[in-house]
Amino acid sequence: MSGKFITLEGGEGAGKTTCLKHIEKLIRHAGIDLCVTREPGGTRTGEKIREILLDRGNIDILDETELILMFAARAQHLNELIRPTLAAETWVLCDRFTDATYAYQGGGRGISKERIAELEQWVQQGLKPDLTLLLDLPVEVGLQRAGQRSTPDRFESEDVAFMQRMRSSYLDIAAREPERVKIIDSSQPLENVLLQIDHIFTEVLAG
Ligand code: T5A
């Protein structure tokens, strides 16, 4: 037996922070032990790598460096936190995971899926989320929402074309893996978004 590994994905301004808190509440109310974490980050070393990746001042980071740093943080996260937690039969709820790499570094930056898959295989050794919720909304709506927050980080500063490619990549993954990846229409008002999540979790928590 092992805990369930659940990930939350979406473009900029999709409402992940808000939805993550709601999912956390649903799982804890069901009496299930839960660890909430995020990528890039989740460990001491991973959080240091996150700082490098998000810092807008780091304009010289190569696409390859960015990709490798994502997987470096992920290797640390898997070994230090995710695998031991799942082995202890505790569920893991992770804010972004490898689908984000396919969407941002693959779709956004144009790195080939094959290259990403090589690193995925090496670092994850077949471990994948049991369930992924993809908060999907038109790029313009997301950017408008995200724009109401503080200064944009290195990824939030990318242009609309980057965001469109990132969204398409996410939707491609969902189309290829409909059992694992559930699309949530997050362009809806928040109460409707949370209802869609409730609907999915009624089944997850019953099973
Ligand atoms: N990254 C990450 C990669 O490039 N590759 C990888 O492999 C990985 C793992 C950091 C960055 O790293 C990149 C992608 C990211 O750019 P992050 O910290 O998850 O990842 O960054 P953000 O996308 O910025 O995520 P946040 O959780 O900070 O914010 P969200 O999803 O943008 O959402 P949130 O909840 O802050 O909502 C934005 C605003 O919209 C409102 C909220 O109140 C808030 O003001 N809102 C709504 N308004 C109306 N209707 C709704 N339904 C609403 N839902 C939320």
Look at residue 98 and tell me whether its pLDDT is greater than 80. Answer: yes
Number of domains the chain contains = 1
Task: Report d(CA 55, CA 61) in Å as an integer.
Answer: 10
Whether the upstream peptide bond of residue 40 has omega within 30° of 0, thus cis, is yes
Are the CB atoms for 86 and 29 separated by under 8 Å?
no
* CATH assignment of the domain containing 107: 3.40.50.300
- Asked, for residue 73, whether it belongs to a domain, the answer is yes
Task: Report d(CA 3, CA 105) in Å as an integer.
Answer: 29
- Asked, for residue 117, whether it belongs to a domain, the answer is yes
Q: What is the pLDDT of residues 123-171, one digit of tens each?
A: 999 999 999 999 999 999 998 888 776 788 899 889 999 999 999 999 9
- Asked, for residue 207, whether it belongs to a domain, the answer is no
Q: What is the DSSP letter of 59?
A: T
Q: What pTM was estimated for this model as a whole? A: 0.96
Please work out, in degrees rounded to the nearest 5, the angle formed at the alpha carbon of residue 16 by the alpha carbons of 10 and 21: 150
Task: Report d(CA 181, CA 171) in Å as an integer.
Answer: 9
Query: Which of 1, 7, 37 lies closest to 173, judged by CA?
Result: 7
Most distant pair of Cα atoms in the chain: their distance:
48
Average pLDDT value over all residues in the chain:
96
User: Distance, CA 155 to ligand 1 centroid (Å)?
Assistant: 11
- Asked, for residue 12, whether it belongs to a domain, the answer is yes
Q: What is the pLDDT of residue 146?
A: 83
Q: Measuring from atom 11 of ligand 1, which residue has the nearest CA?
A: 155
- Asked, for residue 177, whether it belongs to a domain, the answer is yes
Which of 9, 18, 119, 197 for mutating ligand 1's site (highest number of atoms within 8 Å of CB)?
18
Domain encompassing residue 167: 5-202
Instruction: Say if ligand 1 is within 6 A of residue 146 CB.
Output: yes
- Asked, for residue 121, whether it belongs to a domain, the answer is yes
